[in-house]
Amino acid sequence: AQTVTQSQPEMSVQEAETVTLSCTYDTSESDYYLFWYKQPPSRQMILVIRQEAYKQQNATENRFSVNFQKAAKSFSLKISDSQLGDAAMYFCAYSGTYKYIFGTGTRLKVLA
């Protein structure tokens, strides 16, 4: 069975600084997708970034980028130039055949 592990329950970053959130996963599938979702206090789940496992190039969306290490089964999220609006829960997710598996989340605090 697939698993997703986020080992950092909480992280803090100073405004304008860079922070990296960690995610590891376990799977025997060769074709899958990985996601980072953001959940602000409003509770709405918002897609931050998506990575196809067959692509070696790391995905980037503006200030958000990933470090995808397929052999190590690692999928970390880097947030550059952190802003107050980045404060939220961040969930790493794995998607295989039919289902999505979510990690337990990392709460990011942004300090002014």
Sign of the Cα pseudo-torsion (26, 73, 49, 81, in order): positive
Site for other proteins in 57-96 (CB under 8 A): 91, 95-96
Position 41 contacts other proteins (CB under 8 A): no
User: Is the Cβ of residue 15 or residue 29 nearer to other proteins in the bound state?
Assistant: 29
Name the one residue in this structure whose structure tokens are 């990933």: 66
Among 28, 84, 98, 112, binds other proteins (CB under 8 A): 98
Contact indicator for 57, 69 with CB cutoff of 8 Å: no
CA atoms within 13 A on the CB side of 85: 2
User: Is the Cβ of residue 19 or residue 105 nearer to other proteins in the bound state?
Assistant: 105
Contact indicator for 77, 61 with CB cutoff of 8 Å: no
How many residues form the binding site for other proteins (CB under 8 A)? 25
Position 25 contacts other proteins (CB under 8 A): no
Compute and round to an integer the Cα radius of gyration of the chain: 13
User: Is the Cβ of residue 57 or residue 97 nearer to other proteins in the bound state?
Assistant: 97
Among 8, 22, 33, 65, binds other proteins (CB under 8 A): 33
